[in-house]
Amino acid sequence: MAKTWKVKALTATERVENGIHIYDPGKQEWLVIKEFDDFEKAENWMIGYIRKNNLYHGDFKITR
């Protein structure tokens, strides 16, 4: 079994009521958004993604 590095993003549960998007902050979870065989590639992709989309780095992590 090959070990992969997973880039994860912190997401909040969302529901729509009467056309309004409502986020439940108490129901956050880490979702895998991309996998890599090499840590350096995972880190470079994640940093580029965060910079390109002007996101907060604390909402992302890399795990094995």
H or E, element range at 26 = strand 20-36
What's the pTM? 0.76
Rg value, the chain, Cα: 14
The answer, yes or no, to whether residue 1 has pLDDT greater than 60, is: no
pLDDT digits (tens, 9 = 90+) for 29-49: 899 999 999 999 999 999 999
Q: Specify the 3-state DSSP secondary structure of 10.
A: strand
* 46: nearest Cα among 16, 9, 15: 9
Q: Please state, in angstroms and rounded to a whole number, the distance separating the CA atoms of residues 12 and 21.
A: 11
Mean residue pLDDT across the chain: 90
